[in-house]
Each structure stands twice: as C-alpha cells, then as structure tokens.
Amino acid sequence: MTSTITLYGIPNCDTVKKARSWLTEQGLAYDFHDFKKQGVPAERLPAWMEAVGWEKLLNRQGTTWRKLDDAVKAQARDSASAAAVMVEHPSVIKRPVVQWPGGRITVGFKAEDWQALLQA
C-alpha cells in the first residue's frame, strides 16, 4: 500500500494538466510518472485493468487511437492483447491514471469525483 498519490500520464495532455493543477491547488503532493519518458509500467497494467476494466483504460476516442493502423486496433480484443497495445502505444491509455493512497485507482479527471474520493 502506498501513502503517496502517483499520477500517470503525458505532460502535454490537457486533462493531465488540469489534474496536476487541481492536486497542487488542494495542497496535495504527488509523484508524476511520464509515459513518454518513463514508459508504461507494464507490471501495473493488470491492477489498472482490474480496477477500471481494459475497455475504459483503452481510449478509443483519442487521436492516437484513430491514427493507429487498423491491424493494431484489431489486436486489442481482450485484456492481454489490449495491454500489449497500451505498452507499445502509451498515448492510447485514458489519462490520467491515478494511484491513490490506500491503493484505489481512478482513470480520467473530474474535480468533483476527486474531491468526494478525498473526503471518503
């Protein structure tokens, strides 16, 4: 169990920027894991998929997904194959992924949801 907030994402993603600003405004310290520089922590993917489902974690609405070759898109048909695509193309992961103190995992950013989570 971790007592630190870890935010996983890409620094130039607007949603990640909003999430990071929100955490800072709340006075919450966090670690940032940059998918572009540090890669996707493949050992964490199974826990993320178990927490939110691989279908939610794989962002099929994003620009990166739309630019992928159809053959690559077709490979993502279950959790194992989706994980392989996410490791190879980190930008297809819905962002941010956050590991909260106590082990809870969330995907995406909504200030009201995060506020409720902190008050729980």
What is the CATH number for 80? 3.40.30.10
pTM: 0.91
Q: Is residue 13 annotated as a catalytic residue, yes or no?
A: yes
Nearest to 48 by CA among 20, 8, 13: 8
Nearest to 18 by CA among 92, 105, 103, 95: 95
Give the mean model confidence (pLDDT) for residues 89-100.
Answer: 95
Give the mean model confidence (pLDDT) for residues 39-53.
Answer: 93
In the predicted structure, residue 38 carries a pLDDT above the cut 90: yes
Q: Quick one: pLDDT band at residue 81, thresholds 50, 70, 90? A: very high
Q: Where are the alpha helices (DSSP H) in the chain?
A: 14-25, 35-38, 45-52, 54-57, 63-67, 70-75, 79-88, 111-119
Q: Quick one: pLDDT band at residue 114, thresholds 50, 70, 90? A: very high
Torsion angle in degrees (nearest 10) through CA of 59, 63, 67, 70:
30
In the predicted structure, residue 1 carries a pLDDT above the cut 60: no
Give the mean model confidence (pLDDT) for residues 30-56.
Answer: 94
Structure tokens at 107: 């995907």
The whole domain housing 87 covers: 5-119
Task: Give the count of domains, the chain.
Answer: 1
Give the mean model confidence (pLDDT) for residues 98-106.
Answer: 93
Q: Quick one: pLDDT band at residue 2, thresholds 50, 70, 90? A: low
Which residue of the set 7, 10, 13, 68 is catalytic? 13
Judge contact between 40 and 65, C-beta under 8 A. Answer: no
